[in-house]
Amino acid sequence: MTEMVRYAIEHISRFLYSKTVARSAMWLCLQPRSDFDQHVRRFEAVTDPSVALSPETDPFGNNKHVITVNFEHNSLSITTRSEVDNITATRLPTALGPGAWEEIDSWTNSFEHWDFTHESALTRNSPALENFVSRHRIGSGSDPVESLLRLGDTLHRNFEYAPGATTAESTIEDILTTKRGVCQDYAHVMIAIARSWGIPTRYVSGYMHVTGLRGEIVPESATHAWVECLLPDLGWFGFDPTNAGIADERHVRIAVGRDYLDVSPTRGVLIDGQPSTL
């Protein structure tokens, strides 16, 4: 019997400006996806000061909203509330059938998967990445599943989870140099390596429910990042290198993209204003 977990999520973002802002515009990526194993029962968003939200869908099928504040203000608060049903994760087989790598190879130049098989702004190959792969003897083995699990475990063991060590737009060189970073850095490195093997791999933003399992790592706010890989017979399957495991019913998907830049929770511009504090 399929089991289901229901989550009630409240996400609050507050921006404080050092001087009064004449106008502002912001893009929000905070509404969870309704997907193959996840159903959004309810979503609402309110702002202070109160303004209308204009919904839109991006090229990756993510739900986004645009807000504009066309009057003077010195702060902006955004509160979203979601109710999400998650189906218990499908069991990951220990290996795929014969011919799995050959099928994956056939996707490499597919227009459908192009965005997820080639480099993106924050997942570019580099001498630092090549040195890391060589030093830790990382390579694609006889089976894609075994290779991905081993890759996630290698990143988990060799990186230190250190909030503040990188920024939202850090490239993989930062964590490869210092060995310190956060979930999005782990995800970006795994994406770069998995794509180099030809596996379509995408960045996932979302939330993770902390259950007290030994070794669980997630920021205090519960926002999290992991990856999904397209695998024969399985479709998109999630791997969480920060926690050296698979994405399961603890993980709630907000959005998917090539890297963090496609799915940042908030992004905007100020007119006649100064930098903000979040």
Can you give the pTM of this predicted structure? 0.93
User: In this structure, how many other beta carbons lie within 10 angstroms of the beta carbon of residue 174?
Assistant: 16
**Residue 159 dihedral angles phi and psi, to the nearest 5°:** -110, 150
**Residue 28 pLDDT > 80:** yes
Cα-atom radius of gyration of the chain, to the nearest Å? Answer: 19
**Percentage of the residues of the chain whose pLDDT score is greater than 70:** 95
Domains along the chain? 4-87+264-277 (2.60.40.2250), 100-248 (3.10.620.30)
pLDDT at 78 over 90: yes
CB-based contacts of 249, cutoff 8 Å, min separation 6: 3, 5, 86, 87, 88, 89
Which of 70-74, 81-85, 107-111, 236-240 is predicted with the least confidence, judged by mean pLDDT? Answer: 107-111
pLDDT in tens, 167-212: 888 899 999 999 999 999 999 999 999 999 999 999 999 999 988 7
Question: How far from 89 is each of 121, 232, 246, 249, CA to CA, in Å?
Answer: 30, 17, 9, 6
